[in-house]
Amino acid sequence: MLKIAVLGGRETVMGFKALGLDVFPASGPEEARETLRRLARDSGGQYAIIYVEENLAQYLEHEIARYKDVPSPAIILIPGREGPLGLGQSALKAAVEKAVGTDIL
């Protein structure tokens, strides 16, 4: 069975643990980069979705871009405790525009 992972700051990810998701707290961009690589490549494809906190995602653009055009794992940006940075919304808008051919949002 495929799993869902959440990568971000401890305060952000621990709430997802109560929902039964696999959580991976990262204290900084380098730790997050290594964890994302491990989850996406070395996990044997066990994660279908990886949620990444926007605060860390802004430092992981190149890593996230590698998985933009592959069906699995889907990397989805979520806001952190401090609130949204707009990165997730921008990524969603670009994906919808690519799929539909025009900006409908």
pLDDT at position 45: 78
Domain ranges in the chain?
3-100
The predicted pLDDT at position 66 comes to: 87
Say what the pLDDT of residue 97 is.
Answer: 58
pLDDT score recorded for residue 85: 57
Q: What is the C-alpha separation between 80 and 8, in angstroms, rounded? A: 8
What is the per-residue pLDDT for 5? 95
Q: State in Å, rounded, how far the first CA of the chain is from the last one.
A: 34
Alpha helices in 1-105 (DSSP H): 10-17, 29-40, 54-57, 61-65, 87-100
Q: Which of the following CATH numbers is that of domain 3-100: 3.30.465.10, 3.40.640.10, 3.40.50.10580, 3.40.50.620?
A: 3.40.50.10580
**Cα-based distances in Å from 68 to 12, 18, 54:** 23, 28, 16
- Model-wide pTM > 0.85: no
What's the pLDDT score for residue 34? 95
Buried/exposed code over 34-61 (b: 16+ C-beta within 10 A; e: otherwise): ebbeebbeeeeeebeebbbbbbbbeebe
Residue segments in the chain with a per-residue pLDDT below the cut of 70: 43-44, 82-105
